[in-house]
Amino acid sequence: MPTHLESSTPTSGHSNVKAFITHAGFNSILEACTYGVPLVTIPLFADQFSNFKRVERRGVALAVQKTELGVKKLSEALEKILKNESYSQNAKRLSNLIRKKPGKQSELVRQWIEYNYQPHCELIANDI
């Protein structure tokens, strides 16, 4: 990897990362879930609200609304994530499920490209 890009490489997988503050974009959610890191989210627009709801249902995230964003609210959310061990446990459990999923990621990419994969065609049971 070019040295000028190393500083922007995802670091959620580092053992010192205990929580991830994010706008709840899909890539950030995927990165945190893959590495088993709980989230404090600040959804701003578009899919970020539904992305947050997905990880909230799984017990790995809290949200701070942009209209309430400030040092106090952000600190409270971060403290709750760090002190309540269930967020970390749920994140690690979700990470294990993601990592143990059969198949290769390259196969999923191939499906998207070759077969115009449509997520709305999946069974709702896949989201459980």
* Mean model confidence pLDDT for the chain: 81
pLDDT, tens digit (0-9, with 9 covering 90-100), for 38-82: 999 999 998 899 989 999 999 999 998 988 989 999 999 999 999
Domain assignment present for 74: yes
Enter the DSSP assignment of 59.
Answer: T
Rounded to whole angstroms, the Cα distance separating 8 from 105 reads: 22
Q: What is the mean pLDDT of residues 107-119?
A: 64
Assigned token pair, 116: 């115009």
Global confidence as pTM: 0.70
Strand partners, 65: none
Kindly report the CATH number assigned to the domain that includes residue 94. Answer: 3.40.50.2000
Total domains, the chain: 1
Boundaries of domain holding 66? 11-101
pLDDT, tens digit (0-9, with 9 covering 90-100), for 34-50: 899 999 999 999 889 99
**Run of H or E residues at 124:** none
Per DSSP, helices labelled H in 11-61 are 26-35, 48-57
Q: What percent of the chain is modeled with pLDDT above 90?
A: 38
